[in-house]
Amino acid sequence: MTMQSSRLAAALQGGPVYLAPSAWVPVAPGLRSDVGNAFAALADANLRLAYADVMANIHMAYGSDGTSEKPFAFVAGAAIIPVHGLLLNRLNGTYGYVTGYEYVQRMTELAEADPDVRTIVYDIHSPGGTATGTRETWNTIRAARKPTHAVVDSYAYSAAYFLASAAGRISLTPTGGVGSIGAYKVRADFTKAMDAEGIRVEFIFAGAHKLDGNPYTEMSDEERDRHQKSIDLVYADFVSAVAEGRGLTEEMVRGTEAGTFDAPEALRIGLVNDIMAPRAALETAIRHAEGIRMTTISPEDLAAARADEKARMAAIIGSDEAKDRPKLAQYFATETDLSAEAAQKALAVAAKETASEKAADPLDAAMRAAGGGGVDEDGPQGKSDEDDHKALAARILAAHSAATSIKYQ
């Protein structure tokens, strides 16, 4: 086994993982598989060439000529970040069969800082990976100020879907799948096999839990309970992230029971936004980005805006026109965005408030100022409901006309 493949096995053994059920075999201790052997062979290959192959596939999928010198694929204002293969913590790279959480975080930060980038697209094709590192990466994607779009081609299971749920939108290819919102640990027990071979292992140790997870000892009920509590916490974090990212309730997320879903079902239950091929999804991401105007409000600008609003309200409430119409002035100042000048103009043409009106509800006062009775008063006797409605509409239009100078015929 190579150093790289040993690192993979060590990373996934013992700790909680977010992996689709079919993906666990290559990393189970002592087991061999075609996928595990393929990964070992890849780890021995030239990583630079492996990375180049990943980027070439990205450019082909999204219609880029691959001439950009940026650290990520760049197409029409979109940074495209690959999230492929098993996902591991403390790995700053992507090589087709494996991607590091640190790599995704770093590329996101670089795309955020690049003025040419208008939107960030995550090209996802992964069965999942370690739980360690997912929340940190999710937070990085979620905190991005630029629009984010996860394009799943062709599946995002478990940890991969954890990351996808942080994006503003998720597109899934027609034959793809998402889900496996769950977690598990692997705890091997070799004791019976060792007994059959006449092998006995003794440990001299200190600390009651030092041997927890050791495959040469049987798992006690106490140890099993601790593992279950640990995995329950990891699962709860996964559920919480998906619920927040997708706008679902935690009950709805838990209701998936870690199942995997094809495109139509994933769309129906809200795990994705749409079903489309990568290039169409990229076009959607670019159009969405063009429709968003990003603004940054500095603390100084925010303080100035608050000062302006305070001055506007003071100019309305403290005006001469407000002296005999305090309730209406308060209503204009706090419940509308009328300028001080427009509000003063409306107050000037409004009837003065009586003592009882000054104590009335602002809406009631506004209705009176508009030229009619309050909200609890009956209309003129002998008139139909239609006449009352017409009169009410006329009073409202008159008040609005006075405030805005808009003339109604």
Q: Would you kindly state where each structural domain of the chain is located, as residue ranges? A: 3-187+220-290, 299-404
- Check whether 48 has a pLDDT greater than 90: no
The residue among 152, 82, 147, 83 whose CA lies nearest residue 117 is: 147
Q: Greater confidence, 239 or 293?
A: 239
Q: Specify the range with the lowest mean pLDDT, choosing from 115-124, 188-197, 200-209, 377-386.
A: 377-386
What digits encode the pLDDT tens for the residues 236-255? 999 999 999 999 999 999 99
Encoded tokens for 353: 């408030």
The whole-number average pLDDT for the span 224-243 is: 96
Q: Give 9's pLDDT tier (boundaries 50, 70, 90).
A: low
- Check whether 386 has a pLDDT greater than 60: no
Please report how the helices 385-404 and 340-349 are oriented relative to each other, as an axis angle in degrees rounded to 10.
Answer: 130
Three-state secondary structure call for residue 91: coil
The pLDDT value given to residue 393? 55
The whole-number average pLDDT for the span 67-82 is: 90
Show the 3-state SS of 13-30: CCCCEEECHHHCHHHCCC
Q: Greater confidence, 11 or 282?
A: 282
End-to-end CA distance of the chain: 87
- Check whether 382 has a pLDDT greater than 50: no
Encoded tokens for 164: 């996808």
The whole-number average pLDDT for the span 132-150 is: 96
Output the CATH code of domain 3-187+220-290. Answer: 3.90.226.10
Name residue, tokens 């508009």.
370
The residue among 352, 288, 357 whose CA lies nearest residue 325 is: 352
- Check whether 79 has a pLDDT greater than 90: yes
Determine the Cα–Cα distance for residues 59 and 56; give it in Å rounded to an integer. 5
Determine the Cα–Cα distance for residues 396 and 390; give it in Å rounded to an integer. 10
What are the phi and psi torsion angles at 82 (to 5°)?
-75, 135
The residue among 89, 64, 94 whose CA lies nearest residue 77 is: 64
What digits encode the pLDDT tens for the residues 394-408? 555 566 566 555 554
Contact present, 81 and 120 (Cβ < 8 Å): yes
